[in-house]
């Protein structure tokens, strides 16, 4: 087990910690959750950087890193959805919509399924620029929304919502882009 893979495991282990702040219900839980999310997001960047720098890219890492990323973002999106829907006293932020979460989740399932089909044919589909932009937008949005106005006041909430909706647009675009660029995967005899 190399350091990049350990960082992937740490990111996965931080997910229940991140979510638990909501259920504990302590005052300012969202700021603590945001800090844990930032640490987990940093491990995403760091494990990739170290794997490339130290030439420790592994099959395990190629498989688990994107799963850890998706689980982290999905947990955060669901937390933001529930936080808004339960009508708790939560300051400026009032949640993200179910449709937003469904579109982002659907994109991840479609791309993951597409990659599985490709892998079964010996084709590896790497993340492209639009997918990386989508992830960066989501992570920045989640951080701003979780801080609930602590960062930049109401402007931080507005920016967070703008970024999450921009990530929806980029998500749809990147899903279509992945499929068009790799349509050969769907051909039966190749």
Residue-wise pLDDT tens digits, 81-132: 888 754 444 454 556 788 889 999 999 999 888 888 888 887 777 778 898 8
Which of the two residues, 50 and 58, has the higher pLDDT score?
50
Residue 41 has pLDDT above 70, yes or no: yes
Tell me how long the chain is: 190
DSSP 145-186: HHTTTTTTHHHHHHHHHHHHHHHHHHHHHHHHHHHHHTGGGG
Which tokens in the block code for residue 18? 């991140």
Answer whether 141's CB lies under 8 Å from 168's CB.
Answer: no
At 95 the pLDDT is 64
The packing angle between helices 59-85 and 129-146, to 10°, is: 40
Q: Give the model's confidence band at 186: pLDDT under 50 very low, under 70 low, under 90 confident, else very high.
A: confident
pTM listed for this prediction: 0.85
In angstroms, the CA 35 to CA 113 distance is: 32
In angstroms, the CA 18 to CA 41 distance is: 11
Answer whether 170's CB lies under 8 Å from 136's CB.
Answer: no
User: What's the rounded mean pLDDT across residues 39-47?
Assistant: 92
Residue 153 has pLDDT above 90, yes or no: no
169-96-180 Cα angle (round to 5): 20
């Amino acid at each position: 087990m190399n350091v990049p893979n350990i960082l992937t495991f740490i990111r996965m282990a931080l997910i229940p910690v991140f979510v638990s702040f909501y259920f504990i219900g302590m005052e300012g839980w969202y700021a603590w959750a945001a800090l844990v999310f930032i640490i987990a997001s940093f491990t995403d960047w760091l494990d990739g950087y170290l794997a490339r720098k130290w030439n420790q890219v592994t099959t395990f890492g190629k498989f688990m890193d994107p799963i850890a990323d998706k689980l982290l973002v999905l947990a955060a999106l669901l937390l933001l959805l529930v936080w808004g829907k339960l009508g708790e006293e939560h300051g400026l932020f009032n949640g993200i919509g179910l449709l937003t979460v469904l579109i982002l989740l659907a994109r991840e399932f479609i791309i993951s399924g597409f990659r599985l089909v490709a892998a079964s044919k010996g084709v590896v589909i790497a993340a492209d620029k639009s997918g990386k932009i989508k992830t960066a937008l989501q992570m920045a949005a989640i951080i701003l929304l979780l801080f609930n106005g602590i960062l930049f006041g109401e402007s931080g909430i507005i920016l967070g919502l703008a970024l999450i909706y921009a990530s929806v647009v980029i998500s749809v675009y990147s899903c279509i882009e992945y499929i068009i660029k790799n349509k050969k995967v769907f051909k039966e005899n190749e």
